Amino acid sequence: MFFRRLSGFSSKNQMNLFRFLLIGLCCLSLPFTSCRKNNQKINEINVYAASSLTEAFQKMKVVFEALYPGSTVRLTFAGSQVLRLQIQQGASADIFVSANQAHVKALSKAGRVKKSQIFAKNDLVLITPLQNPSKLRSFGDLLKAKRLVIGSEQVPIGLYTRKLLEKVESTGSKDFAKRALHQVVSKEKNVRLVRAKVELGEADAAIVYKTDALASKRVKRFIIPKKWAVSAFYSIGLLKSGQKQPLAQKWFNFLVSSKGRSILSSFGFVVP
C-alpha cells in the first residue's frame, strides 16, 4: 500500500522522501548505539597485574565472569614497574596489582589510586634445569652455578633477589652477594623471563617466586632456608580511572574475598 501511494509522487519527490526516512532512521539508531557502547564500557574492566599472577588471575577471570554474567575482565601482564609506567603514561587501567608495594604507593602519591590493600605474599626459591648441570643440592650451593640469571634492579624479583643475597652475606658468608652477582649472565625484566632462561637451558640457576617454580614442569626447585627467607608482598590498587565502574570495585572485593584467597592459595600464594 505504501509503495502504491509513492507511485503518485514524482521521481524527485520520491527521492526526497526516501532521504528523509533514511535520516530519521539513522537518528533513531544513535541513542541505541550510544547505550550499547556505554553498557559495554560498564561491563568491562582492565586489570594490569604482575606477571607472576598470570595463572592465578586467569583462573580468577573465569570464576569472576561466571559470577557476573555479561562482564569482561581484560588482563594485562608484565613486570610491575612496566605496568606502573604505562599507567603513568595514560594506559586505560582500572585495577593495578603489583608484586611490590612501592609501585602502588607511587601511583597513590601521584593521586592515581583511590584505595589499595596488601592481599598476598610470595616466597623466593632457587631453580635449576631438570638436568641440574651445576649439580646443586641446596640453596647453599648457589655459588657453584656458572650461569646465574636474576631480575633486573628495576623489577620486584630483582630487588628481592638482591635483598636475599645481602641477607645471606650479613649472616657471615663473606662477599656472598658480590660473588653471586659475578656469576650473573643475564638480568631480565620480569620473573617469567628469568624462569624461561632456566627452562631453555640458557642458565644453570635462577631465583624466582615459589609460584612461578610450581607452575613449571621444566625446573627443579630448592627451598631457601628460613634464616635467609625474603618474602614478596602483593598489593592491589583501585585506580581513580576505575572507581566510577562498579565492576572494578567488585573485582577488588573478589580478590580479597575468601573465594579469591582460595584461588590464590591453590597456586602457591600465602594469603591472610
22 domain residue, yes or no: no
9 domain residue, yes or no: no
Tell me, what's the pLDDT at 172? 83
151 and 109 housed in the same domain: no
52 and 86 housed in the same domain: yes
95 and 73 housed in the same domain: yes
247 domain residue, yes or no: yes
- Phi/psi for 208 (5° steps) reads -135, 180
5 domain residue, yes or no: no
106 and 139 housed in the same domain: no
114 domain residue, yes or no: yes
153 and 187 housed in the same domain: yes
What is the residue range of 152's domain? 122-231
98 and 158 housed in the same domain: no
**Which of 223, 70, 199, 66 lies closest to 141 in space, CA to CA?**
223
| Contact indicator for 187, 151 with CB cutoff of 8 Å | yes
Q: How many domains does the chain have?
A: 2
Check residue 95 and give left, alpha or beta (phi > 0: left; psi -120 to 50: alpha).
beta
Tell me, what's the pLDDT at 40? 46
Tell me, what's the pLDDT at 42? 65
Tell me, what's the pLDDT at 16? 52
95 and 164 housed in the same domain: no
261 domain residue, yes or no: yes
131 and 78 housed in the same domain: no
Q: What is the CATH number of the domain that holds 104?
A: 3.40.190.10
- Type of residue found at 49: A
**What's the first-to-final CA gap in the chain, in angstroms?**
73
As a whole number of angstroms, the distance between CA 24 and CA 17 comes to: 11
| Contact indicator for 233, 179 with CB cutoff of 8 Å | no
Render pLDDT for 51-63 as a digit per residue (tens, 0 to 9).
999 999 999 999 9
208 and 258 housed in the same domain: no
Tell me, what's the pLDDT at 173? 83
Tell me, what's the pLDDT at 241? 81
Cβ atoms within 10 A of the Cβ of 262, count? 11
260 domain residue, yes or no: yes
2 domain residue, yes or no: no
226 and 132 housed in the same domain: yes
The helix/strand count (H/E) of the chain reads as 11, 9
Tell me, what's the pLDDT at 11? 52
139 and 203 housed in the same domain: yes
147 and 162 housed in the same domain: yes
Cβ atoms within 10 A of the Cβ of 249, count? 18
Spans of the chain, pLDDT less than 70: 1-42, 243-244
